[in-house]
Amino acid sequence: MNTAVKLGVAAALALGYATANASVALPSSGSTDLILFVQDVTTGESYAGDTGISINTVLPSSSLLGYGGSTSVAASNFPATLPANFSVGPTANLTAFLGTTHTGDDVEWSVQAAQYPSASNVTSNTPIGNTKYITTYAGDPGDFSGLIPANLAAWGNGFNNDMIKLNTNLGSASSVYGASAASAGLWDVANSSAIVTWYSNGVDTEGVQLGGSVSLYGLTGNNGTVVPVQLYDLSDNLTLKADGTLTTGTASPVPVPAALWLFGSGVLGLAGVGRRKAVKA
pLDDT at 151: 87
pLDDT at 118: 60
pLDDT at 57: 94
Of the candidates 64, 73, 82, 69, which has an alpha carbon nearest to the alpha carbon of residue 227? 73
pLDDT at 275: 31
pLDDT at 163: 94
Residue 27's contacts (CB-CB under 8 Å, 6 or more residues apart) are 113, 114, 115, 116, 122, 156, 159, 160, 163
pLDDT at 188: 95
Phi/psi at 185 (5° precision) = -85, -15
The amino acid at 135: T
Pairing of strands 230-240, 80-81: parallel
Q: Is the dihedral angle over the CA atoms 169, 171, 176, 179 positive or is it negative?
A: negative
pLDDT at 16: 36
pLDDT at 134: 96
pLDDT at 272: 41
> How much is the pTM?
0.80
pLDDT at 192: 86
User: Distance between CA 88 and CA 240 in Å, rounded?
Assistant: 10
User: Cis ω on the peptide bond leading into residue 79 (within 30° of 0)?
Assistant: yes
What is the mean pLDDT of each successive set of 10 residues along the chain, which is 281 residues long? 36 35 81 95 96 94 76 77 95 94 90 78 49 93 88 87 94 94 94 91 92 94 77 96 90 48 39 34 29
pLDDT at 47: 97
Q: How many CA atoms lie within 13 A of 11 on its CB side?
A: 14
pLDDT at 19: 38
pLDDT at 69: 63
Helix, strand or coil, per DSSP, at residue 37:
strand
Residue 165's Cβ-count burial label (10 Å; 0-12, 13-18, 19+) is exposed
pLDDT at 22: 62
pLDDT at 58: 95
Q: Using one digit for the tens of pLDDT, what is the confidence trace for 243-274? A: 999 999 765 545 544 443 333 444 334 344 33
DSSP state of 103: T
DSSP state of 91: P
